[in-house]
Structures are given as C-alpha cells and as structure tokens.
Amino acid sequence: MKRKAKERAEHNRYLRKELARIRKERDRSHQARQETQDRLRQHEAQAPGLVVHHKVDLVWLALRLFLEVRIRFRAVSRVLRLLAEACGITKAPCPQTVINWVTRLAMVRCDAARLLRGLPLRAAPCSHGLIWMIALSIGLGTGKMLAVLAFDAHHHQLAPDALALDRVHCIGVAVADSWTGDTIAAWLGRLIAQMGRPAAYLKDGGGDVHKAVAGLGEHGLASPCLDDLAHAVAGMRKRSSHDPPTFATFVSACGRLSGQLKPTMLACVAPPNVRTKARCMHGHRLCTWAARVLQLSPAGGAKSGST
C-alpha cells in the first residue's frame, strides 16, 4: 500500500509540474500574440495610405494609377489585383469598372471647367484668356472624337515647366460619324456661348478646324488660329522628304520589321509605331531606332534564316 501511494504521489507531482509548464507556455503565447496584434495595429495606423478601408479609397487609388502613373485600364485592374492582399482590397475592380470611374470623373471635370477663366489679354480684351486645343481622333468604332482642351495663355509666364496634365482642362468632347468645317464651327459656337470666346485656337495641320475658325469669324467670334509646332515641322519635313523613294522604302521596311518582331522574343527591339498619317512627325524616332539597331546588329552578323 505504501509503495502504491508513493507511486501515485510521484505521478501527481509530475502532472502538476507539467500543468504548470503548459500554463506558462500558454501565457507566453497569448502575450506574444497580443504584442503582435498591437504592432500590426500600430503599423496600420502609421501607414493608412497602404490600407483600403472604404470604396472611396479604392476609387481614389484606381484614378491615381490611371492619371498619375498613366497606365491603361487593364493594367490598373492587374495592379490592384496584385496589391489586393497588402492593401486590404476584398475584390479588385475589373477594367470596365475602372473605365466607368474615369468616365464619371471626366464628366464632373468637364462640367466644372465651364466656369474656368484665365488671365485677360490686352490684345484680346473680350476673351477669357484661355487657349483652346482642338484635336480629332478615332473615338468609338468608326466615329470620330472631337476634343477641346483649355489652358491659360499665360502658362509659360506663370509656370517654369512645360505644359503638364494638371494644367490642362477638358471643356468638351463630342463624337460624330464625320466632322466638317461647318459641324465643328457649330459645336465650337455652343462652347463659346457657355464659356466665352477663347484667346486663340491651337490645332494640328488639318484644314477642317481652320475652316471652322474662319466660319466663326464671319459671325464676329474670330480668334487667332495657331498651328501646333510639331505638326507644322512635320508638314515641312513631309514636303522635303516624302517624295524621295528612299524615305518610302525606309518606312515600309520599318513596318514589315515591326510585324515580324512583335510576335517573337525580340519584341523589345521592335521599331516605333509607324502611322499612316503624320508619319513624318515621329521620323526622328525611327531614325534613332535604326541607328541603334545597326550598331547592335551589323550586316552579316546574324545566321541565315534566323529572326
């Protein structure tokens, strides 16, 4: 009996020691978990910009990626999908959702720009001191988009840097199957009725906008019409370089090479895009690219039949 009692006592002492050790380990684990949670809350409090708590923050982040980083809608969706876990995003938006957010922002900014006014000019006292940039491009399917952007005529006196995105305001966008001088003049007349006459028009080398401005002058709404420097120089270069057959051969070779390289692993060395219109505007890029490629790959350096 004494031997059994002694064995039970030793077993109970062992169990009490193990129970005390397990309790200490439990307390240490609980304290470590509490300290880790406190550090995590402190880290989140110190960097609130990295955590998205509301949908407003998600929309703001998507718009910053599109406007500041200047990446496309699909790229914005992919970036947010990669940052979802780190930023606390439960569901990343799809590209169409990003397009809808940007469209709503554009509509709000267009309405706000109707009250925009620039510094007055002595040469044009009846104008609002803004220069309107007019551009035509393919917008929706076969339709052509006409966009009008405005910036202060005194920009280079007020800011030391070149014209940036935050200094330009979109005041109107319209889409039509085709645009002529009369239709452009009618639409510009609607904008002038809301905002007033601009100090000048800045356009490309097209004749439709010039005809539209001349038509507005017949109704007493004339303003100076300025040609964009890049388009003007491209027009001069086209008149002097477009006729020689060597230029056409060079542009054709760049186009064929671009189609051959882009589907391969050498897509990074493909030439810049060759446009059917205003191709002389980017001629310097093609020449710079060709000079670099000739230095990297001299004639006869590649095996016959290779890419």
Domain ranges of the chain: 50-107, 116-227, 234-296
Sign (positive/negative) of CA torsion 124, 170, 133, 189? negative
Q: Which of 24-33, 76-85, 97-106, 255-264 has the lowest mean pLDDT?
A: 255-264
Give the H or E element holding residue 173: strand 169-176
> Is residue 150 within 8 Å of residue 168, measured between CB atoms?
yes
pLDDT 10s digits, 107-150: 888 777 777 777 667 666 667 788 888 888 766 667 888 888 88
Residue 203, judged by CB atoms within 10 A of its CB (0-12, 13-18, 19+), counts as: buried
As a whole number of angstroms, the distance between CA 282 and CA 286 comes to 7
Give the H or E element holding residue 187: helix 181-195
As a whole number of angstroms, the distance between CA 280 and CA 99 comes to 32
pLDDT 10s digits, 223-249: 888 877 777 777 777 777 666 777 778
Q: Is the pLDDT at 267 greater than 60, yes or no?
A: yes
pLDDT, residue 178, reads 84
% of residues, the chain, pLDDT over 90: 4
pLDDT, residue 242, reads 63
| 281-to-82, 251, 278 alpha-carbon distances in Å | 38, 13, 5
pLDDT, residue 160, reads 81
pLDDT 10s digits, 277-297: 666 666 778 888 888 888 877
pLDDT, residue 68, reads 83
Residue 209, judged by CB atoms within 10 A of its CB (0-12, 13-18, 19+), counts as: buried
Joined tokens for residue 225: 């019409």
% of residues, the chain, pLDDT over 70: 86
Q: Is the pLDDT at 208 greater than 60, yes or no?
A: yes
Q: Is the pLDDT at 49 greater than 60, yes or no?
A: no
DSSP string across 142-166:
T-EEEEEEEEETTHHHH-SSPP-GG
For residue 183, how many other CB atoms are within 10 A of its CB?
15
* Block residue for tokens 């007019």: 134
| Helices 283-296 and 229-241: angle between axes, nearest 10 degrees | 70
According to CATH, the topology of domain 116-227 is: Nucleotidyltransferase; domain 5 (3.30.420)
